[in-house]
Amino acid sequence: MTALPLSDRKVLLIVGGGIAAYKSLELVRLIRKAGGAVRVILTAAAAEFVTPLSLAALSGHPVRQSLFLPDDESTMGHIELSRWADLLVVAPATASLIARAANGLADDLASTTLIATDKRVLWAPAMNVRMWEHPAVEANMARLRGFPGFHGAAVVGPDEGEMACGEYGPGRLAEPPAILQAIVDLIGGERPLEGRRAVITAGPTFEPIDPVRGLTNRSSGKQGYAIARALADQGCEVTLVSGPTALAAPAGVRRVDVETALEMKGAVVAALPADVAVLSAAVADWRVDTIAGGKIKKGPGGPPTFDLIENPDILKGVAAPGPRRPALVIGFAAETGDLEANARAKLSRKGCDWIVGNDVSEDVFGSDGNAVTLVTADGAETWPRQSKVEIARALVGRIVEHLKEDR
């Protein structure tokens, strides 16, 4: 039996207030027919065109309308609702909804959910042609499309044709089958890494000197978190071992928080066996031999001296031959010069399968972009600067291909 294109996929539909809101009824029916689960947020204006009862009957779930209904918030709050879905769809997307999302406004359930989500959003604009062609709307759409990573808008439509107001031009809501196809393109189809396991490391480590100070580095963890998210999107069971960062755990990913290199090593070993290990964390090479029990004070004898001891080599340990070695071990090399040569030397020295090298002499730490060189036994490939999310997706694409060949 052929699987339905949206089997096990969840869609949160936000219905905006326009005459095209009636098409949301057909869209809900098509999503469910394709195997997807759908929940609906109905704006106050949209409720003037379609009823909550109709959408509830078609979706099989109560329709959410207000941010301030205690019963709704106690069953599935708006934050949980935004995390529940694999994709948010705004149809029809009115000029008001577009403007609020583009400028970070969150003053009702729909706009708050759009800001709170950690999932992609598909926009299906619908409005009068004059509104659609207004510079403010054009600027807001460009702003939505230009947001980094998954925040960047996916858009379907609008279509061109005769409108309810009698005018002709672009602005008609895309037909429900076209919106459904856009949904399938974004989240439908096979998840090639289902049944696979991966362990990812990300962020810095922190090696304490005393209760106040420590040895650390400037890694933000953004690249490792993006890789964990991209693997989970492909159906992989992901354990993310994270040093101290300010990032939220990616959806569908199990995060283990650690501080020191020794703690990170223990968490990685505990997450094995796995099919894939991507060790992107910036692990401190050394730690102090003896951690002071109290804060070290300034004294007349000048600055203190510390005896440093080497931390365990987590990448080399994971890549070592043995029954628990992952089929694919990927390390990272942060370099300030001779990137490819240093990355290739690290590949040989550590015994891993791939090295992702990046030049950290440029604006990399904390930024959303990166340029990397993928080094394997077969050669090196330089990827131009792009968002860390895009790099993660490209790397996971290579991982999928490699594991298919390995079977």
Enzyme catalytic residues = 165
The kind and range of the H/E element at 75 are helix 70-76
For residue 40, give the amino acid letter.
V
Q: Give the gyration radius of the chain's Cα atoms.
A: 25
* DSSP 8-state code for residue 192: T
Tokens of 398: 């290579």
Residue 349 CA to chain centroid, in angstroms?
32
User: Which runs of consecutive H residues, i.e. helices, occur in 320-374?
Assistant: 339-350
Which residues share a beta bridge with 374? 356, 381
Q: In 57-213, which ranges are E strands?
A: 87-93, 121-125, 154-155, 159-162, 168-172, 197-202, 207-208
Only one residue has tokens 């992609």, namely: 120
Could you check whether the bond before residue 273 is cis, i.e. omega within 30 degrees of 0? yes
Q: How far is residue 149 from each of residues 146, 152, 193, 230, 278, measured CA to CA in Å? A: 9, 6, 21, 11, 20
- Cα separation, 200 vs 228, in Å, equals 6
* DSSP 8-state code for residue 327: S
87-93 sheet: strands from edge to edge: 37-42, 10-15, 87-93, 121-125, 154-155
Q: How far is residue 156 from each of residues 24, 97, 365, measured CA to CA in Å? A: 14, 15, 34
* DSSP 8-state code for residue 338: -
The kind and range of the H/E element at 375 are strand 369-376
Q: How far is residue 184 from each of residues 11, 87, 181, 191, 226, measured CA to CA in Å? A: 11, 10, 5, 13, 22
How many residues in total does the chain contain?
A: 407
Tokens of 106: 């969150």
Q: How far is residue 323 from each of residues 147, 152, 274, 318, measured CA to CA in Å? A: 43, 42, 11, 11
